[in-house]
Amino acid sequence: MNQKPRVLICGTGFAGQGHTKAFRDASAEVVGIVGRSEEVVRDVAEKLGIPYAGLDWEQALRDCQPDIVSIGTPGGAHVEPIKKAIEFGCHVFCDKPLTESGESARELYELAVARGVKTAFASSFRYMPEVLHARQLVADGAIGEPLEVESISHFNLERYIPFGWSHRKDAGGGRLNNNFTHVLSIVTSVIGERILAVSGEVRNDMRVAPIVEGVHNFKTRRDFIPEDIDDPDLEWGETDVEWSYTVLAQLESRYPAKSPVSVLCKHGGMHPRFNEDHIAFYGSEGAIYIKGHYGSGPLYLNDDGQTWREVPLPDEIALSVPDMADDTQRNWTYLVREFVKDIKGIPVSPYQTFKEGSLYQQIIDVIRKNDRWVDVRHLQ
């Protein structure tokens, strides 16, 4: 494919608009956008200069004849648009989570393989500059044999964020879908992609949330928190997803190692932090510590067992990532750039596809069962 690939966007909110910019930055042509509300989709199309705006996804596939579709809606709305796109022979770029369940995610992966279309799964915070830096340091042997990883984060989210897709399992909500997918992607990018075992628990710390009209963009939902939370006329929706999780995993290291690498991922969505969120990689000869819940930096290296020193980002990594201040947009653009190159037949490094999206969703289903406890009361 030598010409600009034609891209059809599904979703008019934060992700759909961000995907539009990412594909344009990768020299693709965004030919259309589809949404749920005629007024909203036409406004977004006009604002972004997209020539086609519609409400019917299948009709848009016929009218726009895209080479690629980009799915930027909540996870619970992914299955049918992706099935139709694969049926039309389109390559598919999809935000995380791939779907709302492991079963449906596996089905999409198998359909894409059978149809022979390329797919990209956008758990894309693995492209944070300091995460790329950590991967390089581990590959260069800076910490010796990888032994252990920890990811600790506490977001202190507002308790009265208006009820929406993030509160509902069937809509693709929950912290595993929308936080753990990124964390797991970061860890596997540095250590190795093969996940050997997993155990964990989840907890719902937000039982109900106020129902408020007018919320469209995920990024601005905080602006709609009711001023009077005790208003007797407020309606409330019940949330059925986790807001905190603890996951233990074992990964196979891509580097020489005597045993699997132990991983701890701890996230409290509703709880305040005391020390900074971080991701750390420990090895037989040193350790790497990155500040920030998604590895935003700076990065510190301890290679003498005594002192931590900040290590500047190498110029070659700084030059390899898109020059953007917004982390989410930069990471989308990085992955989209690789995806478009691959579709054009240009060699690229491996990136995550529906294979990983399907695996992650099946792992999330396992963790959500909360059945990984061993009862020891009989020992006491």
What domains are defined for the chain?
6-123+328-366 (3.40.50.720), 126-320 (3.30.360.10)
Q: What are phi and psi of 137, to 5 degrees?
A: -65, -45
Rounded to whole angstroms, the Cα distance separating 369 from 380 reads 26
Q: For residue 218, what pLDDT is reported?
A: 66
> Which CB contacts under 8 angstroms, 24+ apart, belong to 229-236?
229/160, 234/210, 235/210, 235/211, 236/163, 236/208, 236/209, 236/210, 236/211
Distance between CA 36 and CA 215 in Å, rounded?
13
The answer to whether residues 209 and 226 touch, using CB atoms and an 8 Å cutoff, is no
Tokens of residue 25, six digits: 């930055």
Could you please report the per-residue DSSP string of 101-116?
SHHHHHHHHHHHHHHT
Q: Give the SS3 label for residue 310.
A: strand
DSSP tag of 177: I
* Tokens (6 digits) for 186: 């970061």
Which two tokens mark 157?
Answer: 């989210």
Query: 230, exposed or middle or buried, with CB in 10 Å at 0-12, 13-18, 19+?
Result: exposed
Residue 192 φ then ψ, to 5° = 155, 145
Across the chain, which has 380 residues, the per-10-residue mean pLDDT values are: 88 96 98 96 98 98 98 96 98 98 98 98 98 98 98 95 94 97 98 97 95 77 89 95 98 94 97 96 98 97 96 98 96 98 96 98 97 92
Closest CA to 20 of 87, 71, 83: 71
Residue count of the chain: 380
The DSSP output letter for 5 is P
Burial of residue 223, with CB atoms counted within 10 A of its CB: 0-12 exposed, 13-18 middle, 19 or more buried? exposed
Burial of 216 per CB tally in 10 Å (0-12, 13-18, 19+): middle
What is the crossing angle of helices 129-139 and 181-191, to 10°? 30
pLDDT number for residue 2: 60
pLDDT score at 213: 85
Rg (CA), the chain: 21
d(C-alpha 229, C-alpha 351), whole Å? 44
Which token pair is 203? 């907890």
Residue 273 tokens read as: 């932090």
DSSP H helices in the chain: 14-25, 38-48, 57-64, 79-87, 102-115, 129-139, 175, 181-191, 315-320, 327-343, 354-368
Q: Catalogue the E-assigned strands of 274-333.
A: 278-283, 287-291, 299-302, 309-310
Tell me the pTM. 0.95
Which residue matches tokens 């590959």?
A: 139
Amino acid at 112: A
